[in-house]
Structure 1
Amino acid sequence: MLFESSRLKLRKMTTEDTKLYHKWRNDQEVMHSTNPSLDVYPMETTKEFVEQVILGSHSAKSYIIVEIENERSIGVVSLTNIDYKNRNAECIIDIGEKDYWGKGYGSEALKLLLDYAFYEMNLHRVSLRVFSFNDRAIRMYTKLGFCQEGNSRQSLFRDGKWHDIIYMGILQNEYFEKRV
């Protein structure tokens, strides 16, 4: 099955996931390395976001990452800003359950999403943004074949310092070559 590996499976996000997503979205430690605003959201705002932006968008596909052994939802992975004409999309990943950090679940989930993006959707390019201090994520993206395409200098203020936002991308043929 395309959306399943030895340890993970991806399933479509539904409105029933709102409470869990709300928990992850408001966990400052989880969002520290991925969300530029670090706002705390009321449940109603998260509900509207899930219904309109995640589930109601024709240019986004979001999946809950489920660890198979315990059937535990551990994070979310998405393709956003899908441009079907130019065959481009952005990807986002958050492992919301901190006890699953640093164990390869993020890269495994992202491989499943990239397989879908390139093999099934026939996208030409997938891009992402990563904060310059997120060394672990940058290593993972590079290992998967993403290349740095640019950066937005000192555009994020976090922990009392200015940080760059790095733009990375991978092309379909690069992904196929990496998978061989």
Structure 2
Amino acid sequence: MINIRHARLDEKYKIYQWLSLSDTTIMHMGKPNFPESPIPNWVKFQEDFEDFYFQKDGREKGSVMIITLDNEEIGCLCYARFHLQHGRAELDIWLKAKKYCGHGYGTDALEKMMEYLKSNININKFLIRPSKKNIPAIKSYQKAGFSNANAKKAVIKEYLLPEYLEEYADGDYGFENTTVMIRE
């Protein structure tokens, strides 16, 4: 059974390892398939995932959550809100090993996170921005109820706060390489 829980600050390094040093890393970042999204080193990861993501008092802005399968940690989810309009969250997910991919665990975890965000933080609109090349992720997000945004630029403007448009509009892969997906 899939469950999720908020990650703690003392778990930050293992989450970095799952993102940047696992056998799933090449499935969503780095050369040769994703040169526009380089694999972060530990310093860059710490810049991108500030401590508030791991602290209770930061959950209004965002949080990293651990995914468990029958009490075994298998990956994590992240939501960010600090750069978005009210009632919206941007989501991300990565699993710590390929053996957990393709079983629906990520889809189930996303469902649980969205349920949590609706119930606890009053979020009802969700954005996720995978690479166009990451077909397995896109299919998983579609199973979780996400649909491709037809007017990507309009959706980005609707979701992001104006002061963050320049910094965050392109997503992790650059605007041309990104699939903008929403669930409302």
TM-score, normalisation: structure 2? 0.71
> Deviation at 1:38?
2.7
The SS at the match of 1:166 is coil
Distance change in 2, residues 1:27/1:123 (3 Å): same
Using the alignment, how far apart are the partners of 1:49 and 1:86 within structure 2? 22
For 1:138 and 1:169, locate their aligned partners in 2 and report how far apart those are by CA, in whole Å: 11
Distance 1:37 1:113, change over 3 A: same
Deviation at 1:8, TM superposition (A): 1.5
Rounded Cα–Cα distance in structure 2 between residues aligned with 1:164 and 1:84: 21
> Which blocks of at least 5 consecutive residues in structure 2 are unaligned?
30-35, 154-169
Q: CA RMSD in A?
A: 2.9
- Residue matched to 2:3: 9
3-state SS in 1 of match to 2:113: helix
Q: Larger % of strand: which? A: 1
Contact 2:22 2:97 in 1 (8 A): no
* Secondary structure, aligned partner of 1:127: strand
1:156, distance to aligned residue in structure 2 (A): 4.3
User: Percentage identity across aligned positions?
Assistant: 20
Residue 166 (str. 1) matches residue 179 (str. 2): yes
The alignment of Structure 1 onto Structure 2 pairs a total of residues equal to: 156
Q: Deviations over 1:134-174 (max 9, x none)?
A: 11111121122212114589x949xxxxx720111111xxx
Verify the 8 A CA contact 1:31 1:38 in the aligned structure 2.
no
Structure number having the greater helix percentage = 2
Alignment of 1:1-180 (within 5 A): 7-27=1-21, 29-35=23-29, 37-42=37-42, 46=45, 50-52=49-51, 54-55=53-54, 57=58, 58-68=60-70, 71-82=71-82, 86-149=86-149, 150-151=151-152, 156=173, 164-171=177-184
**Structure with bigger RCO (C-alpha 8 Å, 6+ apart):** 2
Gaps of 5+ in 1: 1-6, 158-162, 172-180
Deviation at 1:27, TM superposition (A): 2.2
Give, in angstroms, the shift of residue 61 of structure 1: 1.7
